Amino acid sequence: MNNIYRLSNLEIEKWKKKSDQVIIIPIGSLEQHGDHLPVSTDSIIIEHLAKKVSEKIQSLYLPAITFGISFEHEPLFNISLSHQTYSNFISEICVSLVKYGMKNIILLNGHHGNMGCLYYISQNVSDKIHSNAKINFINYWNLMKDFDHAGEIETSLVLAINTKLVKMKMARANTKEIAGSRIAYTSLTTRTGSFPRITGNGVWGDPTKASIIKGRSLLENLTQKIVEIVKEFKNFN
């Protein structure tokens, strides 16, 4: 049982005494992921990874933060918080955890738009937490060679987590050709409303190529890589 949501105060108190404690905050989004995936896709993937990692290293994890910064998906469905609000929100969660006695916090990020904000959480809270506490963050897609949005990769991941969540009959690749450089698109996709304009339909990649087998293998690989990085964080004082 690693999900803090289901633990009692007494159980968390016991866990807190562990010398190698790690707590993971899975951070997702609520935004359009084509017509075939739920808007909670990023949150589902990232909470699943937090669970799998926690089972391996006996860490705890919070329920996913299902809101993020997703202005780039306008006018399609998204719920987006401003940078400042989001930064304060995540920072105050971290301060609460450290005040309580958590020493190693991992912000496990599942959505590109949250990245800029998360980069500075550790600095933002440094004068509010004691120096023994560490806050680190991981963008899970950085651990993969390829990535997309509601394409082959994300669709495979969700298929492997829960097939029932995917409406494969509705899966369509991007309707506009995407041919520019990764560097240009990394910037362009941070602009408000850019995502549907660039892709035509809000999908980046081809979800019709997705499979459960691909998804399972990606999930296993990601879990292992995250475990290794968390170990690296722990070794660094």
Contact set with Zn ion (CB under 5 A): 41-42
Q: Output Rg (C-alpha) for the chain, integer angstroms.
A: 18
Q: Which residues are CB-contacts of 14 (< 8 A; sequence separation ≥ 6)? A: none
CA 132 vs. chain centroid, Å, equals 25
The residue ranges of DSSP E strands in the chain, in sequence order, are: 23-27, 60-61, 104-109, 134-139
Taking the complex as a whole, the smallest distance from the CB of residue 15 to Zn ion amounts, in Å, to: 31
Taking the complex as a whole, the smallest distance from the CB of residue 104 to Zn ion amounts, in Å, to: 26
Of 2 and 41, the one with the shorter C-beta distance to Zn ion is 41
Taking the complex as a whole, the smallest distance from the CB of residue 167 to Zn ion amounts, in Å, to: 16
Taking the complex as a whole, the smallest distance from the CB of residue 233 to Zn ion amounts, in Å, to: 24
- Rounded to 5°, the CA angle 135-226-231 comes to 65
Of 208, 222, 182, which Cα lies nearest the Cα of 34? 208
Of 58 and 142, the one with the shorter C-beta distance to Zn ion is 142
Of 157 and 226, the one with the shorter C-beta distance to Zn ion is 157
Backbone angles phi, psi at 121, to 5 degrees: -60, -45
Cis peptide bond upstream of 75, omega within 30: yes
Sort 131 into a burial class: Cβ within 10 Å, 0-12 / 13-18 / 19+. exposed
Q: Which residues are CB-contacts of 220 (< 8 A; sequence separation ≥ 6)? A: none
Taking the complex as a whole, the smallest distance from the CB of residue 37 to Zn ion amounts, in Å, to: 8
Of 36 and 103, the one with the shorter C-beta distance to Zn ion is 36
Of 42 and 47, the one with the shorter C-beta distance to Zn ion is 42
Of 41 and 114, the one with the shorter C-beta distance to Zn ion is 41
Q: Which residue is nearest to Zn ion (CB)?
A: 42
Taking the complex as a whole, the smallest distance from the CB of residue 111 to Zn ion amounts, in Å, to: 6
